[in-house]
Structures are given as C-alpha cells and as structure tokens.
Amino acid sequence: PDTLLYAYLDDTYCLDAPAAAVACMDTGARVTEADCRVASNLSKQCVWSPGGAAALAPLSSRVALRGTPNAPPTKGHERAGGGTLLGIKVLGAFLGDVGWCSAQLVKRVRIALEPLDGIIQLRDAPSLDIAQQAQHCLMRYCSNTTLVYFLRTMPPSMTIEAAQEHNRLVASAFHRIVGSEAGSPAP
C-alpha cells in the first residue's frame, strides 16, 4: 500500500517501483470492474521507469503491457530497446528521455501552430479593410498559450527546442503578415 496514486478524470497513474506499480494498476482495474462495472482500457496501459529495461526486467513476462522489455512495438511509441518506452505522457506533459520529450513537444508545437498558415491568407474585403488587424489578433490568440503549460510542467532541457520552434514559427508568420523579412524593419 505504499504506491502513490494520481487520478485525473479517466487517467490514473501509479508511482512506485515497477512491479509494485503494475500490481497496483492490476488491482485498480479489477476493483473498478467489480465494484463499479467499469472496465479499464487495458490497451492504453503502459509502464515506464527512469531505470530503463533493467528496472523493468521483473515485468518481462508481461508482454501485453506496453513498455515492458519484451512487449512488441506499438505504433507511435518509440522504444529505448526491446519494448522499453523512451517516455510517457502524464496529464498532457511528457516524462522520460530528454531527447524524446523534446521531440514530442516540438511536434506538438508545430501541430498547434498550423493555423498560422490560414491566418496569413486572410485578405481585406472590398468594403472592409481590417485583415491585418484580424491576422495579428488571431496570431496572438493562437500563439500565446501554446507553450505555457509545458513551460510550467517540464524542465528547460525538454522545452528549449519547442520554445525556439514556437518563436521561429510566430516570427515567420508576423513577418509574412507585415511584408518584411525576419530581422529587417517593415517598409
């Protein structure tokens, strides 16, 4: 009973040594089904440890559990070796190998800022000359909160590349809107 449990909506996290955490996770699934008649989505369950495959070795026989050393590859989940995961997502933030977490966050920033391309294409109507103002307002709205959560929940070593990519994409959009090149004043 020393396992620390975190739960948020339908996500549950068991923090302990790998074998104890998985035992807690299994108990939670059984009790929830028995007492509440709610089945856990076992396909979403996974295990990760900063100790890697060595720390997860006691779970090698659990091949159906994503993240164990002998688990088969799962699309979209990069491996450190065997079935061991490089990291996991916890409440939307990434936890694990610095390079993996950083790459996941850069991907997320690029997806979140894809609307900038559409914003840049806004044009004035014949009787309404406010496209540039609308572009700036929408750009600000789309870009201001993109990284805030991650900057608060993940260390700088994992967020710096995403922050730089965010700044590059926003600066590029700004310069396309005002008709200047990055680093030079608008005409």
Residue 80 three-state SS: strand
pTM above 0.75, yes or no: yes
Distance between CA 58 and CA 17 in Å, rounded? 10
Q: How far is residue 144's CA from residue 121's CA, in Å, rounded to a whole number?
A: 20
Q: Tell me: pLDDT of 2 over 90.
A: no
What is the spatial distance between Cα 116 and Cα 173, in angstroms, rounded to a whole number? 7
Q: Please state whether beta strands 93-96 and 87-90 pair in parallel, antiparallel, or not at all (unpaired).
A: antiparallel
pLDDT in tens, 131-182: 999 999 999 888 888 788 898 999 999 999 999 999 999 999 999 999 887 6
| pLDDT band at residue 8 using 50, 70 and 90 as cut-offs | confident
Greatest alpha-carbon pair distance for the chain in Å reads 71
Q: pLDDT of 42-67, one tens digit each? A: 888 889 999 988 999 999 999 888 88
